[in-house]
Amino acid sequence: MAYSDKVLDHYNNPRNVGSLDKSSPSVGTGMVGAPECGDVMKLQIRVNDESGIIEEAKFKTFGCGSAIASSSLATEWLKGKTVDQALEIKNTDIVNELSLPPVKIHCSVLAEDAIKAAIGDYRAKQSKQVPAAHAVV
């Protein structure tokens, strides 16, 4: 099965590959995957704590072209969105944008899971952060 042009574009020229400081309270990390088939996806966001806007998104994916393209696209979409808006991103949006065939839909699911995991991690850090700050004061 041939990859769509958009998948190939993201695969050959992935956006936002890299990583952010995992220990920073403003960074959320999502690590998801299906280790049995070797697909592992790490997606990170850096959120502006005041505006709640995602300023930076990075990913690193080991997997097939569709998995790489799905996460690459996800990071593009994440930037500039608020955390709440980011949660609106659905795997079907990724499927449509990349014209993923049915056998590759799980790659888009992985990307959606990665977004949710990254946001979940960010929020968990933030909720820990607040009482700690009060304690210092």
The nearer residue to another protein, 34 or 64, going by C-beta atoms, is: 34
Label residue 65 exposed, middle or buried (CB < 10 Å: 0-12, 13-18, 19+). middle
Whether 37 sits among the annotated catalytic residues: the reply is yes
CA dist., res. 136 & res. 61, Å (int): 39
Stretch that binds another protein, among 6-14, 28-36, 88-96, 98-106 (CB under 8 A): 28-36
Q: According to the binding rule CB under 8 A, does residue 80 interact with another protein? A: no
Which amino acid makes up residue 86? Answer: A
CA dist., res. 103 & res. 137, Å (int): 54
Whether 64 sits among the annotated catalytic residues: the reply is no
The nearer residue to another protein, 40 or 105, going by C-beta atoms, is: 40
The nearer residue to another protein, 36 or 84, going by C-beta atoms, is: 36
| DSSP H or E stretch at residue 23 | none
Write out the residues near another protein by the rule CB under 8 A. Answer: 31-38, 40, 42, 60, 62
